[in-house]
Amino acid sequence: MPTIDQAKGMAKRLRSALAERAVDITHSISLELIAAELGHQDWNTAAAKLQPIPPDGVSFHQAIPILRIFDVVKAREFYCDFLGFAVTLEQRHEPDLPLYMAVERSGLELHLSEHHGDASPGSTAFVWMVGVRAFNAELISKQYGYGRPGIIRQPWGDQMEVHDPFGNRIRFCQKRS
């Protein structure tokens, strides 16, 4: 049985996946659907029965890579237009200061930052996923002028690596069954 935080994460991912298919639901409806999937009458019942944290008191949440960017237009072209992410947060302390932006797709959240101290250009993020071949076909069909990634069979799974315009790499990998 998942913890309450894991159930909330499931609801967030469900809502995001449906939004990608132009099906908008409220957060509360998403929570109710997850509660039903877990076998509970409603979200309040599920929340009362789900453990808030594991018995040992340690709980980790999704790691969110921060990737350095230098050009917001290029970042949007790559992460939104090519990879299909949606912007979920944009923050600047003042209009002429660097941008900090969050993007999300199907439960994967990435943070992109123009701030000098946030990350080093040339970083690599590794992402476990399901549907790497479908994702690869989607990317290839876009005929992006700066990259057409392939899939490499690795001992740990089928892996597709993309390179953003700032030297960062994201390795999307699906375990083989």
Domains and CATH numbers, the chain: 4-49 (no CATH), 66-174 (3.10.180.10)
What predicted TM-score, i.e. pTM, was given to this entire model? 0.70
- Say whether pLDDT at 6 is over 90: no
Residues 108-146 as b or e (16 or more Cβ within 10 Å = b) = bbbbbbbeeeebeeebebeeebeebeebbeebeeeebee
Question: For residue 102, what pLDDT is reported?
Answer: 97
Question: For residue 50, what pLDDT is reported?
Answer: 82
Res. 76 pLDDT band, cuts 50 70 90 = very high
Question: For residue 5, what pLDDT is reported?
Answer: 82
Structure tokens at 68: 């350095």
Summarised one tens digit per residue, pLDDT across range 117-155 is 899 989 999 999 999 999 999 999 999 999 999 999 999
